[in-house]
Structure 1
Amino acid sequence: MSLKIRMARGGAKKRPFYRIVVADSRMPRDGRYIEKIGFHNPMVDADNDERVKIDLDRAKHWLSVGAQPSPRVHRFLAEAGVLDKPVITAQTKKNQPKAKAQERMREAEEARKAAEEAAAAPAEEASAEEAAES
């Protein structure tokens, strides 16, 4: 049996509330689960203590017997200090700025380098004149 630690949606329309559950991976998202180990309420402020609550002892137990957390639950557990932060390895074009924005960034970088070179040139001339006078 393949176990997942994932979120099951509850709440009303446009007012989501999620239970963090341990379930068989073959069960539906909101279907039967083995144990409820916490909840996530996205409707409260991010700094509120009632936004995410997880029974960390039970989460550690289920992780030790092989349950795999979903990406969002993995992030919650990492914030709680149970797991390491998830590593994002896939580099896609979606996470890059668009072509015009990349062009503007390149132009800004070139302008910045030109300004640095222009500022460095008078300083080099002044140091060369001081060395010549000595």
Structure 2
Amino acid sequence: MTICLLLASPTFADSDLPAARWANQQLPDARQEAQAKALMEELRCLVCQGQSIADSDAELAGDMRALVRQRIAAGERPEQVRSWLIERYGNWVSYRPPVEPVTWPLWLAPILLLLAGGWLLRKRLVRRRG
């Protein structure tokens, strides 16, 4: 019996509460819904980590979708909502990290890798010709 309870413990992770009203329901104003949807695509699910909150089925993602829709329906601009979420959860919640000294490697690494690849390709082509 104890073994069954231990094996079943992950099923207790989800709550039995119904989803928040705006978690899976669109806003009546199409312009506000478009703003909310665009913002939800830019925010990372804190549970799934590889999905946006728009694509995730996690409960927390549903709560975050509801929060985004509520704040936009209340008149906040998407950038204000995004800033509030970053303040609360950190830069990691956003797929668009700000350009600041801490994130310079994130922004510079792709450029450096492209330059290194181009240099290696050029070097190889010169060797083949000679």
TM-score normalized by the length of structure 2: 0.30
TM value normalised by structure 1: 0.29
- Greater relative contact order (CA < 8 Å, ≥ 6 in sequence): 2
Q: Which structure carries more helix by proportion?
A: 2
Rg larger for: 1
